[in-house]
Amino acid sequence: MAAESRAECVWEGNLVNGHGTTRVASGAFPPLAVSWTARTERPAPMTSPEELLAAAHASCYCMALSHELTQKGTPPTRLSATAVVTIDRIDGQMTVTTSKLSIRGTVPGQNNDGFREAADAAAKGCPVSRALAGVKTSLDVVTLES
C-alpha cells in the first residue's frame, strides 16, 4: 500500500533575507512561515524544515511504538515522544546531523525491559527513522510510567 503526502513551499528572495510559506495539501494546519533566521535564530512564530522533520519523526515514532506494543499484547494508554533535530555545517554544507528521540509511555501490563525492547524495535521500524538512515538517530530516554 503506497501513500503519498504533499506539501509545497513558495519562497521569495535570497536565502538570508528571503522568506517563504509552507502549506500541506491536507489543510491539517494553516500555512507556516519559513525563513533562514527561523533555522538559525528560532524567531516566533516561524518554523523550519528541521522543526517539521522533528514533528514528523516524533509522530511517526509514536505510531511505530504503539504498533510494537500492541503486537506484544500490551497496547499503550499514552505515548509521548520528543524529537530534537540538529542542523550543522558538514564539509561546508548545512546538514541534518542528528535526531534524538525521548519517549514516555503509559503501558498497562508492560515492564521496563519489555518497553525498552519495543522502543528499540520501533526505532528500527519507524518509516521516518528509516528515511533518516544517514543521520545519527538515538533513543536517549525511555521511561515507562505507571
Answer yes or no: are the C-beta atoms of 83 and 58 closer than 8 Å: yes
Do the domain assignments include residue 1?
no
Could you tell me which of 86, 16, 26, 88 has the C-alpha nearest to residue 51?
Answer: 86
Do the domain assignments include residue 68?
yes
Same domain, 103 and 129: yes
Same domain, 18 and 62: no
CB atoms within 10 A of CB 106: 14
Same domain, 130 and 96: yes
Indicate the pLDDT class of residue 141, thresholds 50, 70 and 90: low
20 has a pLDDT exceeding 80: yes
Same domain, 61 and 91: yes
Same domain, 68 and 130: yes
Domain range for residue 86?
49-145
Lowest-confidence pick of 13-17, 25-29, 44-48, 90-94: 44-48
**How buried is 124 (Cβ within 10 angstroms: 0-12 exposed, 13-18 middle, 19+ buried)?**
exposed
Q: How many domains does the chain have?
A: 2
Task: Calculate the average pLDDT of the chain.
Answer: 91
